[in-house]
Structure formats: structure tokens, C-alpha cells
């Protein structure tokens, strides 16, 4: 059984919404809560399939997680040495974040573990995490670079000074998690700024984290203490609705309670460069993640050369940016974004194929694309099973010349449960159909 979206054109986007909780922060709240001492009370948790994979894996590792409702949970931490051996392989589903962060967390446990994933995850690179963990003393095997990942367990880790070759928050976070178990200090130096949710949450849980330029340092044996962890709305989910508000011809959309961590806000800067009528109102910071409100109105978008230094700050939003570019006046050039080929799909190829099918002139480049803006026509495109591709096309299709069918959309539930309902509430016409 597969699922598809059928999208009909619409013009007005309006209302006031809250998007579901941040995926990156939700994974980290569960994992760090599990190895803290005492209970962490998590509010605004994302009950998407990716984070539920992390939750199920922690339960298999003996952690008690009490779910009061879909978004309010208590994680009963058992301290750094409190995880128990699982009875079977831990299934990470579609989630690269879950698999990579668990590699760091499990590298120093006294028992062996195996991490598996779905078809998409089973093709994604894991050596980028395994390599530095091996340098710390871990015994980890991948299957020619991809999952399943087998961790022998029982290794004594030592600190590492790691110059990270790719700008990846997942690699950084895995090494920082392993660092808690390593003798001495571990530092990670990143080549470009990546999201810093792990560092912020470690600090919130009472861990000392050194920061100097692009280097983060953590000492082995640092003790974490359970606490209250509010999860902000996911800016990566809000991005689809921001695009909808820009592409509309009437209305005003307000998105409340969105995470505005400066390591994530590249999309707001990029849409700003493209002429979006977008206002950002920051709210008071409670010492964890910055949050605020976005107000978006119909905009005349224009093409732009995307500055390469904004790429890591908007790494998950390129499907949105490709659609914005396809509907902007003039040409947009994306370079320095080779990482997009290693996401839930090869996002450069899948986006270029889909946009071309809908009549847009796109030249694929090894590390990006050149997109000439135009008008989307009716048609059928394949999302490649990629949640963010499916949602970006659903929004773009709302301003197409006729109905658009988007294939293979079930994975939208990995990050944005309720997307179709919320899209409908603000004025889009997205229907779900299932076929054998």
C-alpha cells in the first residue's frame, strides 16, 4: 500500500498555527534524558515516526518513558551507566539522526548492539560517524559504509581532538555523546556552523561544555541531571507553511512558538534574499532554545545566488528553496550543497526530476542546481519516499496551473504528523489517497 497526495490549486493562505515540535530537539531530549540522573519532563515533543523510533529503542535499552499525552513525556533517566542490553536489533526506521546519535551513545556501553533501518536509511553513509568513534577506541562495523551498524560493546574510550571533515551536526553530536564516556577531554572542530542543539541541551542538563570559535569541548564522566525540557516548534516544518504564505495571493499567516536557533535560521535569510514578505518576532528566551513568531504575507519572489555559508544553516530546507526558486522571477543558483545527495533521498536529483516534470527548467549540478523560475503545470511527480520533498511539492502544487499528484508520501509522518490537516486549515487543498 502506498500513499499519495492530490493537490488542487488555491490562492488564499491565512490563519494562526503552531507546527509540531522540533525533530532534532525531540531526539536529543529522549537520549540525553535517558542518560541523565533523575526524570526529565519534556513538553512539545514531536510524536513523529522518527522520534518514536528513538523512543522505542530507548525502551528496548531498559529506559522508562511515560507518555502523558502525544507531546508530553517523562524520561526516567538512569545515569550514564544505566542502559541495559536490548534483546534484538534496534530499528531506527527512516531516521538518520537516531542512527547516528545512537552510534555515539552506544559506542561505550558494556554490551553489543546492532542498529538497522528502512530501505532509505540502509543506503545512507555511516562511516562518517564510525571513523571518529573508532579513533576513540570503539569497535564498530558498518556494511560497506552503510547500515546495519554493529557495535561490539565493552570498549574503553579515550578523548579525541576531532577535525570534522563534513559540516554535520549528527557526526558532531555522536562524538560528543561518546565523549561523555571517554577518558579525558574530547573536542570537535567543525568546518562550517552546524546546529548546536546537543551542546545547548548538555548545558541545560548541567554539563560543562567549552566553546571557542568552531570548537566544542566536553569532558568524560560529566554528570547530567534531569530537568524540564521544552521543545520548540520545528522551523523545518514551519518552512513549508512559510512558503505557502509567500506563494499565496491573499491572506496572512502567523506561525507561533517556532524554534529560532541561529544555527537553523538560514531558510529565513534565504527567503528574505528572495524577497519574501516575512516578519520574525523573537520571544523571551528561557535559557534553552530561542523561539518566536513568524508572520508571512503573499510575496513576489525573485531568484538569488544562495550564499554558500548559509547552506549548512538551511540544510533541511533545500526542497522548500528549490520550489521557491521554481516560482520566482529569474534564476536561482545553489552551490556547495553536495550533502543534499545523502539525505532521505538524493534531494538534488529528486527535486530536479520533479520540477522538470512540472515544466521548470532545472540544470542539476554536482553540488546544487541552477533553477529558472516559471509556472508549475499539472502532472504527477515522485517524492522518492522523502518527507520534505513530498511536503515542498504539495505547497508548490497549490499554485500550479492544475492538479498535481505526488507519489509515495507516507513518510511525511516521520517529521510532520498532521501536515495534511494543517495545510487544509490554512487554505491549501491537499488530499490523501491510498492505492495498492
Phi and psi torsions of 385, nearest 5°? 75, 15
| Separation of alpha carbons 239 and 19, rounded Å | 10
Min dist CB 14 to ligand S3P, Å, is 29
SS3 for 83-114, per residue?
Answer: CCCCCCCEECCCCHHHHHHHHHHHCCCCCCEE
State how far Cα 416 lies from the chain centre.
Answer: 11
| Separation of alpha carbons 159 and 269, rounded Å | 37
Contact status: 169 vs ligand S3P (CB under 6 A): yes
Q: Which stretch binds ligand S3P (CB under 6 A): 131-139, 169-177, 216-224, 378-386?
A: 169-177
Contact status: 411 vs ligand S3P (CB under 6 A): no
Within 296-315, the residues that bind ligand S3P by CB under 6 A are 315
- Residues contacting 80, CB < 8 A, separation 6+: 35, 180, 181, 221, 223, 224
* Positive/negative CA dihedral, 190, 193, 197, 201: positive
Measured from the CB atom, the residue of 118 and 316 that comes closer to ligand S3P is: 316
Min dist CB 278 to ligand S3P, Å, is 22
Measured from the CB atom, the residue of 100 and 399 that comes closer to ligand S3P is: 100
Length of the chain: 436
Min dist CB 183 to ligand S3P, Å, is 26
Min dist CB 151 to ligand S3P, Å, is 19
- Residues contacting 352, CB < 8 A, separation 6+: 322, 362, 364, 369
Contact status: 173 vs ligand S3P (CB under 6 A): yes
Q: Which of 40, 168, 237, 345 binds ligand S3P (CB under 6 A)?
A: 168
Within 328-387, the residues that bind ligand S3P by CB under 6 A are 339
| Interface pattern 185-214 for ligand S3P (x via CB under 6 A) | ----------x-------------------
Q: Which stretch binds ligand S3P (CB under 6 A): 71-79, 166-174, 299-307, 321-329?
A: 166-174
The radius of gyration computed from the CA coordinates of the chain, to the nearest angstrom, equals 21
Find out whether 405 and 3 touch, Cβ atoms under 8 Å.
no
Measured from the CB atom, the residue of 50 and 408 that comes closer to ligand S3P is: 50
Q: Which stretch binds ligand S3P (CB under 6 A): 1-9, 12-20, 143-151, 163-171?
A: 163-171
| Separation of alpha carbons 422 and 178, rounded Å | 38
Measured from the CB atom, the residue of 93 and 373 that comes closer to ligand S3P is: 93
Burial class (CB in 10 A: 0-12, 13-18, 19+), 282: exposed
Within 89-108, the residues that bind ligand S3P by CB under 6 A are 97
Q: Which residues are catalytic?
A: 316
Tell me the residue nearest to ligand S3P as measured from the CB: 24
Measured from the CB atom, the residue of 4 and 347 that comes closer to ligand S3P is: 347
Find out whether 48 and 23 touch, Cβ atoms under 8 Å.
yes
Q: Which stretch binds ligand S3P (CB under 6 A): 162-170, 205-213, 274-282, 328-336?
A: 162-170
Measured from the CB atom, the residue of 194 and 299 that comes closer to ligand S3P is: 194
Measured from the CB atom, the residue of 25 and 395 that comes closer to ligand S3P is: 25
Min dist CB 168 to ligand S3P, Å, is 4
Residue with cell 536529483: 349
DSSP states along 167-214: --HHHHHHHHHHHTTSBSEEEEE-SS----HHHHHHHHTT--EEEETT
Residues in contact with ligand S3P by the rule CB under 6 A: 24, 97, 168-170, 173, 195, 315-316, 339
Amino acid at each position: 500500500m502506498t500513499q499519495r497526495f492530490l493537490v488542487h490549486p488555491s490562492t488564499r493562505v491565512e490563519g494562526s498555527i503552531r507546527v509540531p515540535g522540533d525533530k532534532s530537539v525531540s531526539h536529543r531530549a529522549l537520549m540525553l534524558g535517558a542518560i541523565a540522573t533523575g526524570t526529565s519532563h519534556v513538553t512539545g515533543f514531536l510524536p513523529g515516526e522518527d522520534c518514536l523510533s528513538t523512543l522505542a529503542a530507548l525502551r528496548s535499552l531498559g529506559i522508562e518513558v511515560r507518555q502523558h499525552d502525544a507531546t508530553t513525556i517523562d524520561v526516567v533517566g538512569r545515569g550514564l551507566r544505566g542502559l541495559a542490553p536490548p534483546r534484538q536489533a534496534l530499528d531506527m526506521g527512516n531516521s538518520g539522526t537516531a542512527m547516528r546519535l545512537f552510534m555515539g551513545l552506544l559506542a561505550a556501553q558494556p554490551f553489543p548492539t546492532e542498529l538497522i533501518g528502512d530501505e532509505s536509511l540502509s543506503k545512507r553513509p555511516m562511516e562518517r560517524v564510525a571513523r571518529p568513534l573508532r579513533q576513540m577506541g570503539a569497535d564498530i562495523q558498518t556494511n560497506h559504509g552503510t547500515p546495519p551498524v554493529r557495535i561490539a560493546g565493552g570498549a574503553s574510550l579515550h578523548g579525541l581532538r576531532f577535525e570534522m571533515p563534513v559540516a554535520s551536526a549528527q557526526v558532531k553530536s555522536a562524538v560528543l555523546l561518546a565523549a561523555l564516556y571517554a577518558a579525558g577531554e574530547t573536542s570537535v572542530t567543525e568546518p562550517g556552523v552546524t546546529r548546536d542543539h546537543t551542546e545547548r541541551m548538555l548545558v541545560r542538563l548541567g554539563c560543562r561544555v567549552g566553546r571557542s570559535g568552531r570548537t566544542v569541548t566536553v569532558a568524560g564522566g560529566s554528570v547530567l541531571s534531569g530537568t524540564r525540557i521544552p521543545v520548540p516548534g520545528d522551523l523545518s516544518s514551519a518552512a513549508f507553511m512559510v512558503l505557502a504564505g509567500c506563494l499565496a495571493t491573499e491572506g496572512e499567516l502567523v506561525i507561533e512558538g517556532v524554534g529560532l536557533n541561529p544555527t537553523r535560521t538560514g531558510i529565513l535569510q534565504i527567503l528574505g534574499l528572495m524577497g519574501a514578505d516575512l516578519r520574525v518576532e523573537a520571544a523571551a528566551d528561557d535559557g534553552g532554545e530561542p523561539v518566536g513568531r513568524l508572520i508571512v504575507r503573499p510575496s513576489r519572489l525573485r531568484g538569488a545566488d544562495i550564499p554558500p555559508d548559509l547552506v549548512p544553516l538551511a540544510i533541511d530546507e533545500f526542497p522548500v528553496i528549490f520550489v521557491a526558486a521554481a516560482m520566482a522571477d529569474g534564476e536561482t543558483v545553489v552551490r556547495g550543497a553536495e550533502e543534499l545527495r545523502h539525505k532521505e533521498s538524493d534531494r538534488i536529483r529528486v527535486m530536479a526530476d520533479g520540477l522538470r516534470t512540472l515544466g521548470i527548467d532545472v540544470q542539476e549540478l554536482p553540488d546544487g542546481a541552477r533553477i529558472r523560475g516559471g509556472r508549475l503545470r499539472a502532472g504527477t511527480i515522485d517524492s522518492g519516499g522523502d518527507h520534505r520533498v513530498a511536503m515542498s511539492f504539495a505547497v508548490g502544487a497549490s499554485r500550479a496551473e492544475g492538479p498535481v499528484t505526488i507519489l509515495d508520501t507516507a513518510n511525511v509522518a516521520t517529521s510532520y504528523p498532521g501536515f495534511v490537516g494543517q495545510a487544509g486549515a490554512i487554505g491549501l487543498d491537499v488530499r490523501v489517497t491510498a492505492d495498492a
